[in-house]
Amino acid sequence: MLKNPSVKYQRFDPVSLPNRRWPSQTITKAPIWCSVDLRDGNQALAVPMNVSQKLDMFDALVKCGFKEIEVGFPSASNTEFSFNRRLIEENRIPDDVTIQCLVQAREDLIEKTVQSLIGAKKVIIHMYNSTSPAQRKYVFGKSKEEIIAVAVKGAQMIKDRLHRLTEGGTHVTLQYSPESFSATEVEFAKEISEAVMDVWQPTPQHKMILNLPDTVEVCMPNVYADQIEWICTNIKNRESLIVSLHTHNDRGTGTAATELGLLAGADRVEGTLFGNGERTGNLDIVQVAMNLYMHGMDPKLDFSDMNGLIQMYERTTGMTVPPRQPYAGELVFTAFSGSHQDAIKKGLSGYEQHNTIWDVPYLTIDPNDIGREYREVIRVNSQSGKGGVAYLLESEFGIELPKDMQREFGPIANDIVDSLGREVSGAELKQMFWKEYIERETPFQLYHFHADGVDGVFTCRCSLVINGKERGVTGKGNGPIAAFADALITDAGAPSFEVTTYREQSLSSGTEAAALAFIQIKTATGKLIWGAGTDTNIELASIKAVLSAVNRAG
């Protein structure tokens, strides 16, 4: 890299807009959405989609609720042309969906595009030509006047052919894009757009779409917003226009540019699912739509089955959704950090109790709303703590550890996970818990237990295997647990202890036992130790829990 980048690169000049209004505006409703997955997204694939794959994606886009879908560049190839015809001839386009086709301002391409749309109910013909200084200078070698002439001629050629569609009942909307708008002088963008408007003659009743693409991000998103507001303020007959945004992500700010562009007065947004597109990609429509959703607005798009949408996308495009992709990635609702896990666990519990406005820490939306499960939210690795361990045991197996027991088992599990050096599953955590508590059978193992009471005094008779040898022991107390503790201490030679906490629960899942008991004991030295036991008989489960704690204390 250069020590002094200014010798090669220069800052993009901002727009003069001293009275800008967009910073104080608020987005209050969803824009008109147009998916360009089948065209802009498709052209960015190493292996473009075939007709079958495009049909699969088209159906998924319709299911999501897109009412405008750019289906391709029908003049570019036979595959693109055939796809249009198949959509139309097989009546695959719902009556409330408009298909959009892209075309350059060239007569042969316009002719083929119109042919591809005959018989459709609702269409958008999207014409473009490049307008930036670099495009004018290096690509076309034309002056501003010559570039305007190209746009005007293309607009007229489209207008001359519209009767072929409208006479058959097709409703046509015209769209113009000064491509590379964001790198074009706003005055020239206005001039060429108005020249096209003079040909197409839009009205408030029959508007045209003026698409202002951030074809290559060359400036900060606030500057793009200034450009959009400048056009909206200065262009003639604004009431006859639908101002549209089409941002890319070269600077990593495509979403920000779109949101600020909407604040600046735009009505419509073009983009793709998960941001597929040339270079760093197009706008990720899912992100902007879900950003509206998390602020309480109906985005007019339905991503309830996010996992199914991702599977379709990866199947048809060969691309993958990164694990950290906002809203869609595998890990975006997942916490490994112990403090995050604890806050999420408490937040979810509070929400479930009160069912108020969503305000769960670290989760911008409820994962359930897009078809994700809470079990995906908290996952355990070496960075996790007691909260994550407890959450997985409870959510997957119904094991509700007492809080003090969470503090005891959490570090034990964490040390094991740390030694493994990887993420662990809920089943592995359960196995760790079972090994640490349930399967503790030395030095004492229960072979047989019986207790009965008379006048509040219980006597227990049991058989223990002590260091490999069976032995009968007895004890007395004010209950079965107290009697068993007495038997261990006075007859079996266990160190002195007292039971301080007892808790039981029914297991909601699992085949090992129907009941689970937790016992905390306090040793003669004051140390607190937890034990756990399972059995179909809750009394035996509690006895096993005492034995577990005593074995762990040894």
pLDDT at res. 129: 95
Distance (Å, whole) CA 143 – CA 129: 13
Q: What is the pTM of this model?
A: 0.79
Query: Tokens representing 437?
Result: 């508590």
- CB count within 10 Å of CB 346 equals 13
Dihedrals phi, psi of 279, to nearest 5 degrees? 55, -115
3-state secondary structure of 81: helix
pLDDT at res. 455: 86
pLDDT at res. 194: 98
Crossing angle for the helix pair 285-294 and 254-263, to the nearest 10 degrees: 60
> In order of start, what are the domains of the chain with their CATH numbers?
32-317 (3.20.20.70), 338-436 (no CATH), 440-553 (3.30.160.270)
pLDDT at res. 113: 96
3-state secondary structure of 88: helix
Q: Which residues in the chain come in under a pLDDT of 50?
A: none
Q: Which of 544, 547, 520, 519 is CA-nearest to residue 534?
A: 544
pLDDT at res. 275: 96
DSSP annotation string for 358-390: ---TT-SS-GGGGT--GGGTB-BSTT--HHHHH
Omega of the bond leading into 443 within 30 degrees of 0 (cis): yes
Query: Tokens representing 427?
Result: 């089943």
pLDDT at res. 193: 98
pLDDT at res. 509: 52
Distance (Å, whole) CA 310 – CA 64: 12
pLDDT at res. 162: 97
pLDDT at res. 165: 97
pLDDT at res. 109: 95
